[in-house]
Chain A
Amino acid sequence: AQSVTQLGSHVSVSEGALVLLRCNYSSSVPPYLFWYVQYPNQGLQLLLKYTSAATLVKGINGFEAEFKKSETSFHLTKPSAHMSDAAEYFCAVKADKLIFGTGTRLQVFP
């Protein structure tokens, strides 16, 4: 069975600081991995996805994630946080349905 684990339900950073949101996956087959973001009172929006084409995936809003098979990780990063990045972030693995992690709430302080 496939699953993802997000370490840290809350992450706080200062504006301009590095953002690192952690996701580890478990899969018996090559995984397809996604990061979604949920802004307050909005739906889930796709940030980026890994489909085995390249291990470093660039997404929207300056986010990127690196697939590391040896570490079974797909951590999400952004070099410089912006106030508008405050949201809930979900890592997910997909077969035919999406299996989500528990989410990480990102707070950005001025």
Chain B
Amino acid sequence: EPEVTQTPSHQVTQMGQEVILRCVPISNHLYFYWYRQILGQKVEFLVSFYNNEISEKSEIFDDQFSVERPDGSNFTLKIRSTKLEDSAMYFCASSEALTSTDTQYFGPGTRLTVL
């Protein structure tokens, strides 16, 4: 069964450093998402992406964040200058369509630790 994959599974970085989290969505999916989950808190939407453009972003997704689909398979989330509060589990998801009933399939997540 096709699945969303994410690398690395765990990333440790120093405050102020740039990190890139990588995702490979399911191959025939057209919509891509990033969510994050700070330890002990709810899963929060960050951004959705379609046709090489951001479709929607939350207030969390400030200028420090960017997303890119550099080739036909990868979907990346970049944090330009990490802060302590960026420590969280980051989930990538993809879906075939954007309708409300369409299922988003999630990857296993990348745990980001900012020291």
**Which residues of A approach B to under 8 Å, CB–CB?**
32, 34, 36, 41-46, 49, 51, 90, 92, 94-103
Q: Which residues of chain B (57-115) have a CB below 8 Å from chain A?
A: 91, 93, 98, 100-101, 103-109
- Closest beta carbon of chain B to A43's beta carbon, Å: 4
Kindly list chain A residues whose C-beta atoms are within 8 Å of the C-beta of B44. 100
B100 pairs with A96, CB closer than 8 A: yes
User: Can you pick out 19 interface pairs between chain A and chain B where the beta carbons lie within 8 Å of each other?
Assistant: A36-B106, A41-B108, A43-B106, A43-B107, A43-B108, A44-B43, A44-B93, A46-B103, A95-B100, A96-B48, A96-B100, A97-B56, A98-B35, A98-B93, A100-B42, A100-B44, A101-B42, A102-B42, A103-B43
Interface size on B, residues (CB 8 A): 24
Q: Mark B1-34, 1 if CB is under 8 A from A, else 0.
A: 0001010000000000000000000000000010
A-contacting residues of B (Cβ < 8 Å)? 4, 6, 33, 35, 41-45, 48, 55-56, 91, 93, 98, 100-101, 103-109
Residues of B with C-beta under 8 A to A101: 42
Q: Nearest Cβ distance between residue B6 and chain A, in whole angstroms?
A: 8
Q: How far is the CB of B89 from chain A (nearest CB, A)?
A: 10
- Chain B residue contacts of A90, Cβ below 8 A: 42-43
